[in-house]
Amino acid sequence: RDPEMSRGLGDVYKRQHLEDYILVGSLRFYFSLLAAKTAYRALQLTRLSAGTSIIGRYVLKLCPDFLKQCNPYISTKINVTGTNGKTTTSGLITHLIKESGKSVINNAMGANMLTGVVNAVAVSLNPCEQTDFSVIESDEAYLAKIYDQFEADYLIVTNLFRDQLDRYGELATTKRLIQEGINKKRELKLLLNADDPLVASFEGRNKIYYGIENVYYADESLKGKSDVEEAFNCPCGKPLEYEKKFFAQQGHYYCSCGFRRPEPKYKADVTIHREYSVIQIENESFTIPLVGLFNAYNALAAIALCKELEIKDINKHLSSFKVAFGRSEVKVLDGKKTLIQLIKNPIGANEVLKTVDKDSNLLIIINDNYADGRDVSWLWDAEFEVINNNKNEIVVSGIRANDMALRLKYAGVEKIKIINDIEKAVEYIGKTADNNITILPTYTALLKLNRMRILKKCY
């Protein structure tokens, strides 16, 4: 009944309860790590799944605060978000960090929702030694959920385009979701695309901008004709005006109220070639083995971040970069060079369509699973008219093959073949192609392609 003794016993009980809670949490964490690595090895051997998210789902059941437990084991944490370019940008950063001799964890397969992030960290983390960096691409809608547990040092935002309207709605919603994530980490260093008015206007304490000053084309045909005109208003409500416009809303914008493109810390002149691009930043020249202006933006973001991290020999190591699956990836199908380019929204599709070789044999695969977006109305916003003079027939496949065929018919394409089964479509184009092959899949179609043994690595 002594109050002092009661308080003392209460403190002992609380301390013991806290120690037990920490011990149980640690045991769960280590057990979930062991289970993840064992399951991942089993999936590699059986090829039952790519193992990009399923392991993460079960890790969170075993250890709900898994990412929080990982924080002490990773020194510097980098996230990449935005509508397009996340996988390529994070892949470039990861490659350059590895080549500099540092250890890094990356969700290289592009699974960027919470389960995918947990999956990538769980199969890669070594709790017996410190990891120098994590480079995690994050779905725009899941950034805040990831930041509930995971610490953060840098966040790159690539661009904001209309994408999966059934999931995100209009761009104001996407921007709000990312801003909610930023607000959770007030000391976060933001690397923002100055040329995108939506991205440039994110609020944060530490903002660093990158942008393109001039774009040159080694071959005028690389400019392409496709574009989706995006009309953006200034925060004051007036339509933005442009001194230079590169594609969509990307460019040098301004308004009479004073709102304008911020001055980038990292600004580049870009020359686009058919199979590579050259980025000039002040007196430094960087050659990137990627096609298209959209990839030049991705590379510029990666270079800017690596300069902030004081990574050395960037240009030296860029030449050995291997793209992630489906992002300008080259494979071999029945002895023919096969270029695979992910498409998922009108602006991204248009930029990819500009790079399509009109002499190649083209296969377009459209799915409408959750990860693709159920709404495929974006097919009518993308300008497939630019391939209506393709030399060969265009094969369409996937769940929404008929929708794609109808879109191509209205685009003026005359030779269309529908093969709904993806594997049969790949086999068909491999056997009938008389030249190089181009495959344009949506995300879940890309995952299926990645598991097909008929597509060989290109050495």
For 401, phi then psi, to 5°, come to -60, -40
Residue written as token pair 């003392």: 8
Judged on CB neighbours under 10 Å (0-12, 13-18, 19+), 27 is exposed
203-229 exposure pattern, b = at least 16 Cβ within 10 A, e = fewer: ebeebbbbbbeebeeeeeebebebbbe
Question: Hey, is 202 helix, strand or coil?
Answer: coil
- Cα of 311 vs its chain's centroid, Å: 22
Catalytic residues: 375
63's CB contacts (< 8 A; 6+ apart) are 25, 28, 29, 31, 32, 69
Residue found under tokens 């950034």? 143
CB 198 within 8 A of CB 268: no
Neighbour-count burial of 19, counting CB atoms closer than 10 A to its CB (0-12 exposed, 13-18 middle, 19+ buried): exposed
Residues 323 and 341: beta-carbon distance below 8 Å:
no
Structure tokens at 357: 């070789």
Whole-angstrom distance, CA of residue 142 vs CA of residue 147: 9
Question: Which residues pair with residue 155 across a beta bridge?
Answer: 79, 190
Distance of CA 433 to the CA centre of its chain: 30
- In 120-205, where do the E strands start and end? 131-137, 154-157, 189-193
